[in-house]
Amino acid sequence: MLHRWACAIIALTLGTMAEASAQTVTRDVRLIVPYAPGGTVDIIGRMLGEALGPRLNGRSIVVENRSGGGTFIAMQAVATAPPDGHTIGLSATAVLATAPVLPGFTMPMDADHALVPVTSVIRVPMVLVGRPDAPYRTLPELIAYARANPGKLNIGNSGLGGQTHLLAARLGYEAGISMEQIQYRGGTPALLDILSRNADLYFSLLPESLPFIRDGRLSAIAFVSPERNTTLPDVPLARETLPDFVGDVGYGMVMAAGTSPAWLTFWNTEINRVMNDPEFRQRLEARFLVPMNGTADAYREEIISDRRIWGDVIRAANIRAGS
């Protein structure tokens, strides 16, 4: 019986691999990125496109930036593309996880049914940054200052329902402090406002804020990673002050519902091959990005798990879109 099961599994695996390898890219592939050019996510997309290009039968990956709508302008472009294997989207995992359970957020599409996961690709460390001239340097000092000065501090976010919005709202709830939220169109304008002393705080992607931290123009207050970051080993974790306060940003790949299993397997195989390449991983790590990979089912489970975790936070903190 075990022998028959083993033979069946091997045959199925070989059949899937053969089906995937039989897929042929016949024209340039669209890689849709949900943020503006020049930022960390755009760089990730372009690095992946460049690495995947030589594997695509002489065709190229063409990056399309579709920013806005809490990433759903881009996700709609993916969902409405012909499901023929030639359009793929870089997805913000937290948005796919939380948008359906965030009160007040109107989704322009049913992402759970309009999109299918391909694989997880990147985790980006996030750090709470602030003005170096502020009267606090650590998270406990920040909390004490905010409690003594309710409503005086503001904190940026880069889109309703996104990770920065949820982290800011969660910080206010769990620390028992009141801060005004300011919405930006991305991390760069939020950081520029802090640099010019027009804003106070922001949960930043590490690659975007690190140069300013290193030259002293930003203060690194706390990482929201599960472990300390070797790049800035002296910066503590938020969860050392607020238990379980973890929230790095993850990104993956999705395609339109209706895309054949063969194409999904093809792209999962090719992307994971790139992500496992030692030279490519080294290039990512040099940008302080954490390479990820895995099966489509694993990425689906990641979205489901994040929805459960953040759904609890949203309900407990009474977070709403626009709050």
Specify the pLDDT at position 322: 66
Residues in the chain predicted with pLDDT less than 70, given as ranges, are 1-22, 322-323
With contact defined as beta carbons under 8 Å apart, do 259 and 116 qualify? Answer: yes
Q: Which of 148, 152, 147 is nearest to 131 (CA)?
A: 152
Domain boundary assignment for the chain: 28-123+248-316, 126-247
Q: Edge to edge, what strands does the sheet with 249-256 contain? A: 61-65, 29-33, 87-92, 249-256, 115-124, 290-291
Tens-digit pLDDT profile for residues 93-118: 988 999 999 998 888 899 999 999 99
DSSP H stretches of helix in 135-216:
139-148, 163-175, 187-195, 206-214
Specify the pLDDT at position 245: 95
Please state which architecture CATH assigns to domain 126-247: 3-Layer(aba) Sandwich (3.40)
| CATH class assigned to 28-123+248-316 | alpha beta
SS3 category, 237: strand
The structure tokens 């089912």 sit at 297
Q: Which of 13, 275, 10, 315 is nearest to 122 (CA)?
A: 275
Same CATH topology for 28-123+248-316 and 126-247: the answer is yes
Specify the pLDDT at position 323: 59
